[in-house]
Amino acid sequence: MEILQYLEAIQSADKSETGATSFEIVHRKRKARVYHYLPEKSPCYKPPILLVYALINKPYIFDLKPGESFVEFLTQKGFDVFLLDWWGIPPSDEDRDLSFYNLCDEYVDEAVRKITRITKTPEVTILGYCMGGTMSLIYTALHPERVRNLICLTTPFDFSKGGLFTHFTKDLDVEALVQTFDCIPNEFIDFGATMAKPVSNLITPVRKLWEKRKSERYVENWKAKHKWSHDGVAFPSKAYGEWIRDFYQENKLSQGRLEVNGKRVDLGDVTCPTLIVSAEKDHITPVATTRDLHDHLGSDDITYRVFPVGRIAHP
C-alpha cells in the first residue's frame, strides 16, 4: 500500500494546487502580465514590492501553495506585492526577435511606472530571483531613481565562476541554436540543468519522498515543488542568444562591458540599500558567482548572506 501511495504522489504531482493567492492583472505588455496581490492587513508598508523571476520556469515559485507561499507571507504582513509574469501567455514563434535587453529595460520600466501610479509612490522595492535578479540589477543600474531597495536572490553576476553551466556553454554554438529555433525548447534547457547535477536532480528527490512518505505536509510540498521544477517555458531565441553569449561566454556584466540600448550598465549607479542572498548548495547559481557583486555596487548599505540550503530552500 505504501508503494502505491508513493507512486501516486509522483504521478499526481502535476495536479498540485499552485499559485493560489488571489490577484488582479493591472498591466499587460504583449504576453507579459503584472499581478497585484492586495495586502491582507494594515498598515500597508511602503514602498510596494515588485517580484521578478527568470524567463524560464514559471513565477509561481513565489506563490507555491497555501501555507508555503512567499507572496502569501508578504501580504499577511501588510506589504503591497506585485509580480511580473513574463509569460502570462506562453512564448511562441512570434517572440523569436524579443530582446533580453528590452525585457530588462522597457518591460520592467513599464511595470514599475504602472505600480508607482497605482500606489502613488515614487519608488519600488525590487526582489529578483536567479536570472530575474540579474535583470533587476541591470534595471536598477539604468533607473536608480525608481528603486528604493534591491533584493537579489541567488543572482548570477560573475559568470566565469558559474560552475558546470559555464563549462557547458563555453563552446556552445549559440548562433546555430538561434537560427534553428524560434524559441529554445524548455526540454533543452531543463536537460542542461538536470545534467549539471544528475544524481541530486534525478535520484535524491524521489529518495527523500520515499523516506518522508508518511509526512502529509512533506508529500504535498514535494509535489508542488516537483510540479514547478518541471513546468518550464520556451526561451525566445534572440533573448537566449544574448543571455548565453553576453553573460556566460563573455561575462560582460562583471567586467563592466555590458550595454543596454546603447547605454553602459554601470553597477556603481546602484546606490540603494541592497540585500544579496545566496544558497550554499545551489548548483545553478553557485555562491562563487554571487560573492563579489557587492564590491561593484555604489551603495554604502549592502547586506550579503549565504544560507546552508539548496536552490529552492531544500536542505
CATH of the domain at 284: 3.40.50.1820
Q: Pinpoint the alpha helices (H) of the chain.
A: 2-11, 70-76, 100-102, 108-119, 131-142, 164-170, 174-180, 186-195, 198, 204-211, 216-229, 237-242
Residue 314 forms part of a structural domain: no
Residue 152 forms part of a structural domain: yes
**Measured distance CA(281)–CA(68) in Å, rounded:** 21
Let me know how long the chain is: 315
286 neighbors 162 (Cβ within 8 angstroms): yes
Residue 182 forms part of a structural domain: yes
166: domain range?
A: 2-307
Q: Which triple of cell numbers denotes residue 167?
A: 563549462
Residue 315 forms part of a structural domain: no
The predicted pLDDT at position 315 comes to 40
DSSP state of 39: P
pTM of the entire predicted model: 0.91
As for how many domains the chain has, the answer is 1
- Backbone φ, ψ for residue 72 (5° rounding): -60, -45
Q: Identify the segments of the chain with pLDDT beneath 70.
A: 1-15, 43, 191-203, 312-315
Q: Which triple of cell numbers denotes residue 66?
A: 497555501
The predicted pLDDT at position 16 comes to 72
Residue 136 forms part of a structural domain: yes
Residue 64 forms part of a structural domain: yes
Residue 312 forms part of a structural domain: no
